[in-house]
Amino acid sequence: MNFSIPLDAHSEQYRYKYLALYHAIRAAVLDGTLPAGTRLPSSRELAEMYGLSRGSVAHAYDLLHAEGYVRSAVGSGTYVAPVVPAGPEPGRRAAHISLSPWGTRIMVQPRPQPDDPVKDGAGPGPAEGVISFVDAGPSASAFPHAEWKSALAWAAREKQGSGGAAAMDTAGEPELRAAIAAYLRRSRGIAADAEQICLFNGSMQAIMLLTQLLLGEGERAVLEDPCYHGISRAVAACGAIAVPGAVDGDGIIPRDWDARVLFVTPGRQFPTGAVLSPERRQALLAWAAARNAVIVEDDYDTEFRWGGCPLEPLKALDRDERVVYIGSFSKTMFASLRIGYAVLPRSLVQPALRAKGLYEPVPPARLEQRALARFMRRGDYERHLRRMRRIYSAKHELFRRTLEAEIPALFALKPADAGLLVFADWRRTPKEYAAFREAARLRGVQFRDGAVYRLTPGPPAACFSLSHLDDERVLEGVYRMNLAWKDI
């Protein structure tokens, strides 16, 4: 049958084959490539064409049928629907749906621009393609795929639970929570029980839910300045007031803030990389006790520490049960593994589970959760971390050495002995920074503007993520930036 859809392009974006097929056909229908009335191949034919299982094709067809993109005729086949849903009919006024205060604040926030203002492939970059220092997740080439596939196969073979409370536990798979508790005791000195750990669909879901639980309208929260923009958006959406906490080379500078919550990244300040000093850690805990406040500790990427003395997390020092510790596997494993977790003070466990139950009464990704538990129990996770520390350490050293040799007059690199990115202050004028960013774009180089993380105006800075690039691309990216500076 003469039939073609851009499946490969969607396979890169969607992990599951049925979703890639669904989106490929849907896109072809919406852009007119598959006009109304077009007969689609049978599930058997399409499976043979693209090397898929018939189950994947049938699942994709079911989704398309449910959403009105295709119709089936008994004994005839599957056809593109004559009327494809594309918004209100001409002449019909769409109803105006009123939003809650929370929904209204979401809509008035600036739309997040992760690559601001550079987009992948934008501009007349060189033929060999764009080199992006914008975060694209951990290195895929160095991931232990065989061990992970083995863990997935084991999880698929094992029974998926026998029902009852354990199978429907809102907190997530008990096996994974126990594995995380054991790992944190061993690697972080956090004496947490599995019952204090709640799994989330990534760390950002945990941050958003805790923000909603802890902050009301007009209440104040301290945020590092600069900080991860997802936290500032979560605080604003809840109607709370963000109080900027200045950051220097030793992390956030303690103050007697009038606030209920502090969001902090003490292990490796995001994005500058500063490590919070022991004295400041004790000062923050004392502040929380005096103010009856909660500290949300985001342990962003400290698993990749290759130098310096590891310091205890605030959670390990917490004697008053005031610290929430948040971790994630999307940076240590792979970006599409949306599993994060929070170690909760005991008084927050039930409120957090009640709140999470509204979003996800049944925990998602149970297969991946069980596989990750086995991956950790067998020691594969920590072996993987040890290997990645060596790789990332060498990559950071290569980048620093090359950048300081090629364009030393442009950036002052912040010291770092851990993490996935390098933060750099711009040495010259703001006008020259803007010109350099544009010249780099024309040379096919992207990097993230440090301004996207600031709560208050500050001098120009840049963030360079290296984890997804091989050494050749790292070197080429720096050489192109050297040429870009010469261009202006």
CA separation for the pair 84, 27 (Å, rounded): 12
Q: Is the separation of the CB atoms in 426 and 411 below 8 Å?
A: yes
Q: What is the pLDDT of residue 167?
A: 46
- The domain that holds 459 is classified in CATH as 3.90.1150.10
- Do 277 and 190 lie in one domain? The reply is yes
What pLDDT is recorded for position 126?
Answer: 41
pLDDT lower than 50: segments of the chain: 87-92, 114-127, 161-167
Question: How many CB atoms lie under 10 A from the CB of residue 308?
Answer: 11
How do strand 197-200 and strand 340-343 relate by DSSP bridges?
antiparallel
Tally the domains of the chain: 3
Distance between CA atoms of 384 and 388, rounded to whole angstroms?
Answer: 6
pLDDT at residue 429, as a whole number: 95
Spell 255-286 as b/e; 16+ CB within 10 A means b.
eebebbbbbbbbbbbbbbbbbbeeebbebbbe
Q: For residue range 85-129, list pLDDT tens digits in order.
A: 554 444 445 556 666 677 777 777 665 554 444 333 334 444 358
Verify that 190 and 321 share a domain, yes or no. Answer: yes
Q: How far is 323 from 342, CA to CA, in rounded Å?
A: 10
Residue 272 maps to a domain: yes
Exposed, middle or buried, 135 (CB in 10 Å: 0-12/13-18/19+)?
buried
396 and 472 in a common domain: yes
What single-letter amino acid sits at 208? M
Q: Are residues 190 and 289 both part of a single domain?
A: yes
The verdict on residue 289 lying in a domain is yes
Instruction: Give start and end residues of each alpha helix (H) in 53-100.
Output: 54-66
Q: What pLDDT was estimated at residue 353?
A: 92
User: For residue 8, what pLDDT is reported?
Assistant: 80
293 part of a folded domain: yes
Is residue 175 located within the same domain as residue 276? Answer: yes
Residue 123 is predicted with a pLDDT of 40
> What is the domain-level CATH number for residue 274?
3.40.640.10
454 and 364 in one domain? no
Q: In the prediction, which pLDDT does 364 show?
A: 81
Q: How many CB atoms lie within 10 A of CB 193?
A: 13
Q: Are residues 300 and 448 in the same domain?
A: no
d(CA 130, CA 137): 17
Range of the domain at 201: 145-378
pLDDT, tens only, 300-326: 777 777 766 667 899 999 999 999 999
Q: How far apart are CA 426 and CA 412, in angstroms?
A: 6
Residues 330 and 425 in one domain: no
Is 95 within the bounds of a domain? no
Asked whether residue 100 is assigned to any structural domain, the reply reads: no
